[in-house]
Structure 1
Amino acid sequence: MTTTPQRTDVLVVGAGPAGSAAATWAARAGREVVLADAAVFPRDKTCGDGLTPRAIGELQRLGVDDWIRAHAVNRGLRAHGFGQTLELPWPGGSLPDYGSAVARTELDDHLRTTALKAGATGVEGAKAVDARLEGGRVRAVTFQRDGETFEIECERLIVADGVRSGLGKVLGRVWHKDTVYAVAGRCYVDSTMSDDPWISSHLELRGESGEILSGYGWIFPLGGGQVNVGVGTLATTKRPAEVAIKPVMARYVDERRRDFGVSGEARIPTSALLPMGGAVSNVAGPNWALIGDAAACVNPLNGEGIDYGLESGRLVVDLLDTDLSRTWPALLTEHYGEAFSIARRLAGVVTVPRVLPALGPAGMRSDWLMTLALRWMGNLVTDEDRDRAARVWRWAGRQSVRLEHRPPFS
């Protein structure tokens, strides 16, 4: 058993994709890094396990794309709903033209191992419960493990402890539920479609009484005879999600048994509440920053967060020698503010009753509209893209920000 470090240059709390990416990039930059997590790896994580081309691009940067290609690879989305089925290839452009899906038990363990191989020191089973601050700067983080309490001093702190972000709350993080958020659940089942080259999404998700819910169901092939099956619904404080997710998920699994060759019972059913679209404030201090899910870097239109976790983990490392209280919120706003603003505005519209039943059938009758929706919903638009769809998306984002009473990350 290695000795737990008492101090470090960069302390990363949370070893999911965001934290492991940050630890990897910081270690590769020659910094002394400690990567701490409350769990002992490998561990499970409630997630759809999907990796969009945006996430694949970040994994390529990390140098783990060969490992990803050894798993399930998909070429796009098969959308079902309102009597139609459309196969929509990933749009490509400046991003990779393929996606994947890897169970988080395996993905997170591999990314954490990548960080340790880069030179980070791992600390497992240690829950961050408090922080010692001096003049707004974090000097140390307090951990609890096996009934014992200890501190790790640090010069810089990166908080990547997930959607609930207990350490973020200690530092003043506030989640604003007046913007759209999601309630989602997932499980694993055996399926004859586990090697399907398409991920599937059912846009006509129905509740117990047959009503259309403001959300969708998904089936992501994992290979090896398994698929990840889940459902997610959108909500706001004004229109809360009064839906029991696990029963909806069980019904969705049963409805898919024939079409997707599902057999056996759902395994490891879990659910989660997801802050999205930068709907948090106090994301940074002079020497600390929240990244990934802790900073609500989750796409409001599809619930994807792995890509933003990987990206924010890379981006924050370049700013570690700056006053993060100024530079980090500014960078998050620059990279994600416009896209998150328009995305959560559109997602909020979907929570209005009768909107989805009215617009869904029309959209599903057009391959062109749904391809455009796939690109926008997946935020598969980069700064390098100059085509008309990209320009329209960025223009809409700018207009949306101007109308915000509380822009993302504020």
Structure 2
Amino acid sequence: MTDIDVDVLVAGAGPIGLAAAIEARLEGLSVVIVEPRSFPVDKACGEGLMPGAVAALERLGVKTEGASIAGFRYADERRATEYRFRGQAGRGVRRTALHDALAARADELGVARVDARVGTIEQDARGVSAAGVRASWLLGCDGLHSTVRRTAGLEQAAKGSASKRRYGLSRHFAMAPWSDLVEVHWGPRAEAYVTPLADDLVGVAVLGPQLTSFDETISEIPELARRLVGAQPVGSLRGAGPLLQRATARTSGRVLLLGDASGYVDALTGEGIRVGLGHARAAIAAISGVDGHPAAVYEREWRRVSRDFRMLTGGLLAAAQSPVRPLIVPAARALPAAFGAVVERLAR
């Protein structure tokens, strides 16, 4: 195996795969995306872009339409606290709209697509082959249950009780948003994220243990249940999980893992897209750079980009699954400066 078809082969055309392809083209690299699903690609998620994600998309030349997000509000049954971003606002964007905008930019830059799945992966010192394409590098951007991660031998077996694994459910409602904040409602067993998406559309995502019921969770949050009385659901209920996924490393030879495929903690703090966009930028910079071996450079940069997300989200998740869960909102309200500092750090 000697001939190289393209510089970069991207497995997965979700937002991070498309962003990586755009990054590569902006660096003058040739790119092919492998994706078996029809466009636009949808997903169960909160759909709130943090200010850092909005800025990253603008740098890529990707324009998104949606609702402005001014900050976060945490609430339980008795109390609430909020924090408004300093500087640039975030944006609530329907996942299919985000995907359309990224796909349009990729098409504009000449990114080629192959309608296929990545099965076997073969690589040597000069390149890697998958889905009938020979490339210098393969970027695994194929999500939580990544085939690339597993095939490349980077899958880490799940640890701990199945009762600790968490799942996501999401649904849209045809109604005007009542706030310009992302609301996180802390129910007895699960959390509900409410995100303004348009003048007439609100997204609600529920995060909780296995077999969590969307409707039961909403009914256990009186404030949110009252808001949604009479609201017309739009589309079907979507699910994802288990959310906790780990990789033994982010690289294996000429294979690099990005976004959810590289390991995922939880969606609690809502900045997965921002972190994934950081992975895309770091991966292409490592491939294009001259300082050190690209795989080693990317592994180091992945840790830097992901550090705050993994530490802060991991800590919050541990608290959410412990006896101190009822104290999370009271603590955020009692320590507004600390709450704001955490939100601001994750947002950027």
Under a length normalisation based on structure 2, what TM-score does the superposition of the two structures give?
0.86
**Within 1, Cα distance between the matches of 2:330 and 2:232?**
32
> Is the alpha carbon distance of 1:51 and 1:300 closer, same or farther for their aligned partners in structure 2, counting shifts above 3 Å?
closer
Deviations 1:318-343 (A, max 9, x none): 11156344222222123323652353
Deviations 1:109-144 (A, max 9, x none): 2102211211211234x2222212336x753103xx
> Is the alpha carbon distance of 1:300 and 1:22 closer, same or farther for their aligned partners in structure 2, counting shifts above 3 Å?
same
State the partner residue of 2:135. Answer: 154
Task: Assess if the C-alpha contact under 8 Å between 1:12 and 1:35 holds in 2.
Answer: yes
Amino acid at match of 1:317: I
**Mean alpha-carbon deviation: is it higher for 289-298 or for 163-172?**
289-298
State the partner residue of 1:331. Answer: 301
Task: Assess if the C-alpha contact under 8 Å between 1:74 and 1:198 holds in 2.
Answer: yes
Identical residues among aligned pairs (%):
24
State the partner residue of 2:110. Answer: 119
Task: Assess if the C-alpha contact under 8 Å between 2:7 and 2:135 holds in 1.
Answer: yes
Q: Does 1:177 find its partner at 2:162?
A: no
Amino acid at match of 2:85: W
Q: Does 1:219 find its partner at 2:194?
A: yes
User: How much has 1:344 moved relative to structure 2?
Assistant: 1.2
Task: State the secondary structure of the residue aligned to 1:15.
Answer: coil
State the partner residue of 1:129. Answer: 119
> Is the alpha carbon distance of 1:346 and 1:63 closer, same or farther for their aligned partners in structure 2, counting shifts above 3 Å?
same
Alignment of 1:348-387 (within 5 A): 348-352=318-322, 354-375=323-344, 379-380=346-347
Q: Does 1:105 find its partner at 2:105?
A: no
Task: Assess if the C-alpha contact under 8 Å between 1:185 and 1:249 holds in 2.
Answer: no
> Is the alpha carbon distance of 1:79 and 1:338 closer, same or farther for their aligned partners in structure 2, counting shifts above 3 Å?
closer
Alignment of 1:194-213 (within 5 A): 196-203=179-186, 205=187, 212-213=188-189
Select 2:71's aligned residue among 69, 76, 79. 76
**Within 2, Cα distance between the matches of 1:53 and 1:182?**
26
State the partner residue of 2:241. Answer: 273
Select 1:283's aligned residue among 250, 264, 276. 250
User: How much has 1:176 moved relative to structure 2?
Assistant: 4.9
> Is the alpha carbon distance of 1:255 and 1:264 closer, same or farther for their aligned partners in structure 2, counting shifts above 3 Å?
farther
Deviations 1:225-271 (A, max 9, x none): 111111113xxxxxxx3542444456469863533565124632111
Alignment of 1:138-149 (within 5 A): 139-142=128-131
State the partner residue of 1:88. Answer: 83
Q: Which runs of 5+ in 2 are unaligned?
A: none
**Mean alpha-carbon deviation: is it higher for 99-108 or for 292-301?**
292-301
Alignment of 1:186-265 (within 5 A): 186-193=170-177, 196-203=179-186, 205=187, 212-213=188-189, 215-233=190-208, 241-249=209-217, 251=219, 256-259=224-227, 262-265=230-233
Q: Which runs of 5+ in 1 are unaligned?
A: 1-5, 143-150, 206-211, 234-240, 382-410
Task: State the secondary structure of the residue aligned to 2:33.
Answer: strand
Under a length normalisation based on structure 1, what TM-score does the superposition of the two structures give?
0.74
**Within 2, Cα distance between the matches of 1:242 and 1:159?**
27
Amino acid at match of 1:232: L
**Within 2, Cα distance between the matches of 1:189 and 1:78?**
19
Amino acid at match of 1:90: F
> Is the alpha carbon distance of 1:360 and 1:295 closer, same or farther for their aligned partners in structure 2, counting shifts above 3 Å?
same
State the partner residue of 1:7. Answer: 5
**Within 2, Cα distance between the matches of 1:255 and 1:337?**
34
**Within 2, Cα distance between the matches of 1:187 and 1:201?**
15
Amino acid at match of 2:181: W
Equivalent residues, number: 339
**Within 1, Cα distance between the matches of 2:57 and 2:117?**
27
Select 1:163's aligned residue among 119, 141, 144. 144
**Mean alpha-carbon deviation: is it higher for 356-365 or for 253-262?**
253-262
Deviations 1:195-235 (A, max 9, x none): x32222212x1xxxxxx22x4211111114111111113xx
> Is the alpha carbon distance of 1:306 and 1:248 closer, same or farther for their aligned partners in structure 2, counting shifts above 3 Å?
farther
Amino acid at match of 2:114: V
Alignment of 1:290-309 (within 5 A): 290-296=257-263, 301-309=268-276
**Within 2, Cα distance between the matches of 1:332 and 1:22?**
14
Task: Assess if the C-alpha contact under 8 Å between 1:192 and 1:262 holds in 2.
Answer: no
Amino acid at match of 2:130: V
CA RMSD of aligned residues (A): 2.8
User: How much has 1:300 moved relative to structure 2?
Assistant: 5.9
> Is the alpha carbon distance of 1:115 and 1:81 closer, same or farther for their aligned partners in structure 2, counting shifts above 3 Å?
same
